Structure 1
Amino acid sequence: MMRKSLFAAALIVTAGAAEAQVIVTVPYRPPETVQRVKIPVNPAEKRLKVLIISGRNSYEHDWTGVNNMLRALMTDSGRFDVRVVEDFDHGTLAMLKAYDVVLLNYSSRWNYADPVQQIWSPEAFEALYAYVREGGGLVAYHSSFTWGREIPEYKKLIGAVMEPGTSRRAPPGAFTVKLIDRGHPITQGIREYIWTYNDDMYTNMSFAPDAKIHVLGTAHDAASAYDPKITGPKYPAAAYTPEKLKAMKGIDADHPQLWVQDYGKGRVFSITIGHDEVSLHFHPLQTLILRGTEWAATGKVTLPVLDEAKDY
């Protein structure tokens, strides 16, 4: 009887607090704060083989930590076996053909504005182009768009690059990406708007005129985000006055952040977000990376949408 009385009282309190926030409890597991190094995959498992090409990046990027997290994320999915190469200058077509998909996490400069860069040999570039043209999959990831502006074929391969002076990183470190094609195999079942965390919004990118890209997601570069009260020292107030903002190309406009394209017989998935290990802790980005990599490798997607990225 006592238990029934308590239950009835709880109902009365709940009914009287109709405007209170509903508390939903879900299974909770604290996030990992120490990165794991993945153990090798059993060769008997028939997994898609991924090669991450890395080895040089800008100082803002924890590229070695990101490579480790990408490797753990993909291996944990049960779908991929992953290797990392940090010296692609000696890359060959035969080497690349051992893999189903290549992920580029590379930037040739220590600083975005540096005139000197470390680029691969002509033979390595041609091996990469031939690999994708002949049917290999490619994922162009985040900082891979910050270089290659002097290399037309690389720009065509990944679809677009950042151009100093016209392209920019918009101020918000956390912003929404709107999925404008939710029927594509990569994005199907993902909510319309996803959040990013500690990430970069690339705007006014220079798109290769002969790359036939299909945009999956965009982000909005709002003039209000350049308010000096919220931007910080990277955005000096004198450079972003209301008058100067009005004259800026692409302000208060939507900018592609995710797209796909064919390159010869190969498939390319381009994803500009994914700045660091912080952003990689969240399900929407994890989902896009996993499903985009699988699509680039096979043309199909079997991996599920992770819980916090699901449409509801």
Structure 2
Amino acid sequence: MKSRRALVVRGGWEGHQPEAATDLFLPYLSGQGFTVTIADSPAAYEDPGLMAATDLVVQCFTMGDITREQSAGLTSAVAAGTGLAGWHGGIVDAFRSDPDYLHLTGGQFACHPEIGGETFVPHRIEITGDDHPITAGIADFDLVTEQYWVLTDPYSTVLATTTHVAQGPWNRPVTVPAVWVREWGRGRVFVATPGHDLDTLRNGSVRTIVERGMAWASR
């Protein structure tokens, strides 16, 4: 199998266990023929040689800051063909103050509403892209974890949704994307909103979607 290069960028808020969460997928990446480089900050995005040689960026970096140069390095690399993949806050609750990054990923975490004071709530992930290689053959499935309410743009192809029940200040159910992909120049972007903790990432459907999403996004 031809060797490819993956760059895993992890860090930020420790509540999402960035090291343990990404470690969960390192054997899969190695098995798919990737040579993996690990970085603990987005500073790696400033290295043009590294980014040009990278076929896939897997990012798990919640909140945090990114410089203009780092953001430009990532965006340019994806436009040139490098894939970008991630899950939960590691990709859609990252670098909130950078509009170019938000434009690239196509979505932003807004909240995870509580039910009865609990942030882990039962909800369903409904597959809408049953003919896409990432979600083909996966049935709708249920989770008990954070249910992300995200703000997204219409450029993405939505592969799965989740519906928030009416409560509190909103008086009707709200359906939002839970898994989506988008093409950016010659590159591809994959986002899955489930993935708050290791138990969620070990769910068979979630893990399959993330692994297929990384493979799909890669150059």
Normalised by the size of structure 2, how large is the TM-score?
A: 0.86
Number of the residue aligned with 1:184: 132
Structure 1 residue 274 displacement after superposition? 1.1
- 1:206 is matched with which residue: 143, 151, 154? 151
Number of the residue aligned with 2:188: 267
- In structure 2, distance between residues paired with 1:169 and 1:139: 25
Number of aligned positions between the proteins: 213
Residue 216 of structure 2: SS of its match in structure 1? helix
Structure 1 residues 236-255: aligned runs within 5 Å: 245=168, 247-248=169-170, 251-255=172-176
Structure 1 residue 194 displacement after superposition? 2.0
Matched, 1:285 2:194: no
Residue 289 of structure 1: SS of its match in structure 2? helix
* Paired residues of 1:47 and 1:80 also in contact (CA < 8 A): yes
* Paired residues of 1:196 and 1:285 also in contact (CA < 8 A): no
- In structure 2, distance between residues paired with 1:83 and 1:173: 35
Number of the residue aligned with 1:69: 24
Identity of aligned residues (%): 23
Deviations 1:26-53 (A, max 9, x none): xxxxxxxxxxxxxxxxxxx524322111
Structure 1 residue 290 displacement after superposition? 1.1
Structure 1 residue 280 displacement after superposition? 2.1
**Any unmatched runs of 5+ in structure 2?**
none
- 1:216 is matched with which residue: 159, 162, 165? 159
* Paired residues of 1:149 and 1:162 also in contact (CA < 8 A): no
* Paired residues of 1:61 and 1:276 also in contact (CA < 8 A): yes
Normalised by the size of structure 1, how large is the TM-score?
A: 0.62
* Paired residues of 2:55 and 2:81 also in contact (CA < 8 A): no
Structure 1 residue 127 displacement after superposition? 0.7
Amino acid at match of 1:141: W
* Paired residues of 2:88 and 2:194 also in contact (CA < 8 A): yes
Structure 1 residues 38-57: aligned runs within 5 Å: 45-57=1-13
Deviations 1:116-162 (A, max 9, x none): xx413322111101000111111132112123333211111111112
* Paired residues of 1:133 and 1:263 also in contact (CA < 8 A): yes
Root-mean-square deviation (Å): 2.2
* Paired residues of 1:195 and 1:284 also in contact (CA < 8 A): no
Sort the Cα spacing of 1:288 and 1:47 in 2 relative to 1 into closer, same or farther, 3 A.
farther
**Any unmatched runs of 5+ in structure 1?**
1-44, 109-117, 224-241, 299-312
- In structure 2, distance between residues paired with 1:147 and 1:169: 19
Number of the residue aligned with 1:158: 105
- In structure 1, distance between residues paired with 2:4 and 2:122: 32
Residue 189 of structure 1: SS of its match in structure 2? coil
Structure 1 residue 79 displacement after superposition? 4.5
Larger radius of gyration: 1
Structure 1 residue 174 displacement after superposition? 4.2
Larger relative contact order, structure 1 or 2 (CA cutoff 8 Å, min sep 6): 2
* Paired residues of 2:112 and 2:146 also in contact (CA < 8 A): no
